[in-house]
Chain A
Amino acid sequence: MDGDMGFESTESKGSTFWVEIEFDTPVESIDVVDGQQAMDTPPRSQSNKTPILLAEDNEINRLVAIETLQDLGHSVDFVVNGKDAVVAWEQGNYSLTLMDIQMPEMDGIEATRQIREKETIKNARAIRIVAVTANAYESDREDCLAAGMDDYLSKPFSDEQFHTIIERWVPQTNANTGSVA
């Protein structure tokens, strides 16, 4: 845990200053557990809410979404493609699905279509699905809604926008079965 500083400079040409810091490599502090195991056991944290399902293939955006959702007190099950989102939906129970659109193996549109189709066949309660996507055209929004999604949030989003969406679909006062805010 230490650091160094230094600089190089040439008169009339410019300067380069640098600072080097040594950080401890983080331990695996994020509690990633096997989804099936997680579904079989109640959440260990103070949160006993139904988890949110996050389908996002981009690691950084996954991190941002998970950190933010955790800060809001939500448990998160995450998958990295649409195919696994359908699997997760079949196995688990979620208050909300945040669905990226462009993902490998199966995109969010197709995953939503399949989930909606299975819901119809099983006569199951419709899970809330919100598109969180960098496809930001109006037609993209229409495509998402046409595929059966409930809402749409385009990237990049602000903290407020994200909070608004989460609060709209998973109100803190009635997080498990709350109706549309």
Chain B
Amino acid sequence: LRVLKVKLYETGGMTAFSTQASQIGANYIKKARFLKALNGGFASKLEFREKFGAITGPLAERWVLSSYIPVRRANDEKLLGVAEIYRDVTTERLEAAESRMNPAIIIGMALAVVFVCLVFIVWRSDLRLAAYHVREIDLVTSAADAEAKSQAKSQFLANMSHEMRTPLNGVLGMGNLLATTGLDDRQTRLRQILTNLVGNAIKFTEAGEVVFSAKTVEKSATKNRIRFTVQDIGIGIPADQQSQIFDSFFSSGKFGFPAISWCWPRPRSNTPVSRIDGRRHGL
């Protein structure tokens, strides 16, 4: 620090020395800071001076720190007087002024750090929350999945039930309808033949299956040819006995049957509603 001025005071307050000669002889006994130093303390004053008479000559616009310092004799610490030293602290002062921004900067930086931390925390929380939501969504989704699968299963079973019941109704219904009509002689015959064939097939098949089937093999405007088949996996018939069986079984060779008088009730294409009058059908 540059020393601008030095003064020395006697214990009575008289200015014994000053680098500014005009001040020698002036008494500072009533100055609080002088008295403080006289009592062994230190006192300083910082002030801005438009003009200042420095050792090197007059100065303008300086921040000046003046300090009163007790001066003691080296061997017995006896107070000899008070020294006052003026120092130019303009540079420090400006730096200090500059540094006064530091707290703002520091606070700003701190706030920035806090902000970043908060952002980070929020971001992490968001991530956690997102992860939680993802888990939650996963749970909900898997629950929904399970529900959907359960529903699909129920739907499948319901459909299965429906798909089996619909034709079963037709089969049972047709059976009921057939049961309500009597058989004529020729039908009684046909029934006898089929009953015998099925009976024999079962009789000669110890294990396995007997298949009875019927299908239309020829269809024309006037005729429907239906083949009834009875198939077994039984003992079979030795080749040399087959002609004999044929002769005894198929002696008559030919059959004739009337039509079954059902007709499919199909809707007309030009109208949604079709009427069938109530009257008895049948053979």
Some 29 contacts from A to B, beta carbons below 8 A apart, are A2-B256, A3-B255, A9-B236, A11-B236, A17-B230, A18-B230, A20-B228, A21-B190, A21-B226, A22-B223, A23-B224, A24-B222, A24-B223, A25-B220, A32-B268, A32-B276, A36-B271, A59-B266, A60-B167, A60-B174, A61-B173, A70-B280, A79-B273, A80-B267, A88-B272, A91-B273, A136-B165, A155-B168, A156-B168
CB atoms of B276 and A25 under 8 A apart: no
B51 interface residue per 8 A CB criterion? no
**A134 CA / B239 CA spacing, docked (Å):** 50
A116 interface residue per 8 A CB criterion? no
Partner of B276, one of A17, A70, A79: A70
Which residues of the other chain, A, contact B170 by a CB distance below 8 angstroms? 58, 60-61, 63-64
**A45 CA / B280 CA spacing, docked (Å):** 10
CB atoms of B256 and A3 under 8 A apart: yes
What is the predominant secondary structure among interface residues of chain A facing chain B?
A: mixed
Stretch of B33-41, B59-67, B80-88, B257-265 that contacts chain A:
B257-265
Partner of A76, one of B166, B245, B246, B278: B278
Number of interface residues of A (CB under 8 A): 84
B221 interface residue per 8 A CB criterion? yes
B26 interface residue per 8 A CB criterion? no
Partner of B233, one of A13, A33, A70, A135: A13
B180 interface residue per 8 A CB criterion? yes
Q: Which residue of A lies closest to B187 (CB)?
A: A21
Q: A11-B236, A14-B232, A63-B173 are in contact. List 13 more A-B contacts (CB 8 A).
A: A5-B250, A19-B194, A22-B225, A25-B223, A32-B276, A51-B278, A59-B264, A63-B174, A64-B176, A72-B278, A75-B275, A134-B169, A155-B166
CB atoms of A24 and B259 under 8 A apart: yes
Chain B residues proximal to chain A, CB less than 8 Å: 158, 161-174, 176-177, 180, 190, 193-194, 197, 201, 204-205, 208, 217-239, 242, 245-246, 249-250, 253-268, 270-281
CB atoms of B162 and A23 under 8 A apart: no
**A132 CA / B220 CA spacing, docked (Å):** 35
**A76 CA / B265 CA spacing, docked (Å):** 11
A104 interface residue per 8 A CB criterion? no
CB atoms of A9 and B237 under 8 A apart: yes
Distance (Å) between the CB of A17 and the closest chain B CB? Answer: 5
A102 interface residue per 8 A CB criterion? yes
Partner of A71, one of B180, B257, B273: B180
Which residues of the other chain, A, contact B249 by a CB distance below 8 angstroms? 5, 7
CB atoms of B235 and A11 under 8 A apart: yes
CB atoms of A64 and B169 under 8 A apart: yes
**A23 CA / B264 CA spacing, docked (Å):** 16
**A40 CA / B67 CA spacing, docked (Å):** 131
